[in-house]
Structure 1
């Protein structure tokens, strides 16, 4: 990867594989990303940082991209402020969010930190129109700046969360362009943030960029890489942790970073696609300019207690795999049937709950030309046949292996088999066969 200053950056991807982080070319300045998935397609709304020479958060329009594989992205629409109530060129086109309801699409956007507007369309590619001709959220509505909207659907209702330092939430009317209630301040117990790492900064306890997602009945309120959890969408929320740690970063991705460190500035969103969870967020390591950022995606894995494990930040990204880069973790699949992830007692995760006919798909595997063996790291509970198909469960069977039952063995074992060499990039689908449910625990695989 080449940084915009012309120097080469490091990446964990092999020479034959194009790095997938940033997901949009670094010189495009696509930032503050939020992703929604509809009909198997990921739609990302984001801001466009104006110039590599930016000395402030100068974003001159908003964009929408789409992708079916999280690797190849298509620009669907560029929303310019002239098409909104702003009505003129504007350099503070700040963060957005996007959602579908009742067959229509709603695109919420920030006018600097002064207000939030909304656009409506029949399709993601537009045309988009401004139904209000004024902000939905105006200055003075609450005791915080009304910007950085995040939309969440719960139990048939839709909510908007927004603000800085203190976050507010309100239910939207069915028309999605008006509030059904006065916004309510969200209580967060013992919060932390990039300016409040020790908990002593009561004036700036959190950040801006609030977002809420739901996992297994729990509500997760995040602000960048910091998050809190609650049993109620309105709170109170209990601060948990940040999902970026010193060990999160591949070489070349921890620095350059923000003035307060790598936990600052990570505006983003959480989303689910094909039974996999992801974090989509800002990064500046490849530009060196905190005002000209790019967008990354990382896998998200939840621990047994519901907390989010630290995420990995690297160039490989998601939706592609490097056969020359050691083991491929089973939990980093792109697509899966209804299976579960299990936190390993020694650290990391495995895939469990594998029943007869279940599958895992790993598209865009590079570097198999010189490989002749495949190794599975797994705990075989029942005796299982692993079929490797091309592309999907219905695709050509490339190989089939029987993993013998290891009686009384609870730790993972390594199973090695011959594997037919493959030219170029290939997508593999692992289909599991056996006579019982909970066939085995799948930790990782590699090619030799």
Structure 2
């Protein structure tokens, strides 16, 4: 069998597998957020938590184009349950900016107890916001762009990294890639190099692979969405490749500024991936994770995308294997969830039919209708619980069926939610539960009459 035929059969088998995966499991893990459309996932590891910053595609588009007003944050300590912290920044943070759309791909980094959120605003440039907490509030301390451009696409998709010697780098760009050397304050850069501080990376086939552009001219595989990091003294630049629809490729370098060497693809074009893609990669608690986005949620599409994650292992030489997007995503929890402490209702592994909303008490689960449900994975009941407590607000009321291991799994209790005289009038409700032991997936299945039943803020079990 010649190499060309072998490669064709390999790609065909991967495509068949992908279709099966995307149409398979009912109780899936990818996309990891189902209550909002989230794109351009940018993970940040800080202490024992992964903070995932995303752009936010609105449910309804304007002029059938990217409709993006804010940036969201989710967190996880186990890589299967993700807590929604709502919109942590928006275009409204920039009071000098006369722009109502264009909150594109974002990345956050911590340095010296401060959190720096680098955000591109389509057609405006790269800006930076600063906070004392990963959840914000973020503040615009510059009152202007960090990197300015009159090019509509150039200054998008910032990625930031602080090297071991303390030097920070900010990369970005479409259809080429540029960088600046950030000063220690992380909100200014060294103007003594390149073109007033901005260095244009040499876009060669050796560095980024060769590709034929739509106009027939030769170019590189690099398109946009760079993700820059270092691992075992090797520098990686991962990026969207090969035009539309985009795949994911990567290059490596012995230094933070090149020369870069093209290494190949990480993810090819598959069904249910959107025509754009954007990745982020982290090591966390001894494991490696690759984030990307697709359009697999109901009503999803190229302008309504959803963040996903796959666990993987680097090859011995540091190269990244070719990955297949799956519906299962991360298959095992890094640690069990403790149900005997307050858990936010918006801590979710999987849900159907639900949304999240932000109010005076923070983020809560909303738009709950009959037969909607949410799943929390790997809940450790230890020697058992005797009571369940939930905080909810309602004009209608309903029930929470508490089940184990499946939507129609073992019923251990039912919590009645009665009217509270207002959708923001919160009240505590309790229910007796059957004593169960050990680790289980926990399902809250919502029951009631037609229409929205109640809002759900937090819960816990009592020993």
TM-score grouping bracket, smaller chain normalisation = 0.5 to 0.7
Q: Which residue of 2 aligns with 1:35?
A: 43
Deviations 1:398-419 (A, max 9, x none): xxxxxxxxxxxxxxxxxxxxxx
SS at the partner of 1:314? coil
CA RMSD, 1 decimal? 3.3
1:83-162 alignment, distance < 5 Å: 83-87=93-97, 90-139=100-149, 145-155=154-164, 156-162=166-172
Q: TM-score, normalised by structure 1?
A: 0.62
For 1:423 and 1:161, locate their aligned partners in 2 and report how far apart those are by CA, in whole Å.
47
For 2:231 and 2:216, locate their aligned partners in 1 and report how far apart those are by CA, in whole Å.
30
1:297-446 alignment, distance < 5 Å: 297-318=309-330, 320-321=331-332, 334=334, 425=440
For 1:50 and 1:11, locate their aligned partners in 2 and report how far apart those are by CA, in whole Å.
25
CA contact (8 A) 1:97 1:150 kept: yes
SS at the partner of 2:223? coil
SS at the partner of 1:93? coil
Aligned-residue offset at 1:256: 3.6
SS at the partner of 2:147? coil
Q: 1:270 to 1:125 in 2, by over 3 A?
A: same
Q: Which residue of 2 aligns with 1:65?
A: 74
1:184 and 2:199 matched = yes
CA contact (8 A) 1:81 1:88 kept: no
1:295 and 2:304 matched = no
Aligned-residue offset at 1:52: 4.8
SS at the partner of 2:138? coil
For 1:41 and 1:214, locate their aligned partners in 2 and report how far apart those are by CA, in whole Å.
19
SS at the partner of 2:177? strand
1:50 and 2:61 matched = no
Q: 1:205 to 1:311 in 2, by over 3 A?
A: closer
For 1:195 and 1:105, locate their aligned partners in 2 and report how far apart those are by CA, in whole Å.
37
Q: Which residue of 1 aligns with 2:238?
A: 222
For 1:22 and 1:112, locate their aligned partners in 2 and report how far apart those are by CA, in whole Å.
25
Aligned-residue offset at 1:204: 6.5
Q: TM-score, normalised by structure 2?
A: 0.60
Q: Which residue of 1 aligns with 2:264?
A: 241
Q: 1:308 to 1:70 in 2, by over 3 A?
A: same
For 2:21 and 2:32, locate their aligned partners in 1 and report how far apart those are by CA, in whole Å.
16
SS at the partner of 2:142? coil
Q: Which residue of 2 aligns with 1:281?
A: 292
**Which 4+ runs in 1 deviate beyond 6 A?**
197-200
For 1:304 and 1:199, locate their aligned partners in 2 and report how far apart those are by CA, in whole Å.
39
Aligned pairs, number: 310
Gaps of 5+ in 2: 1-19, 192-196, 241-247, 336-375, 380-436, 442-463
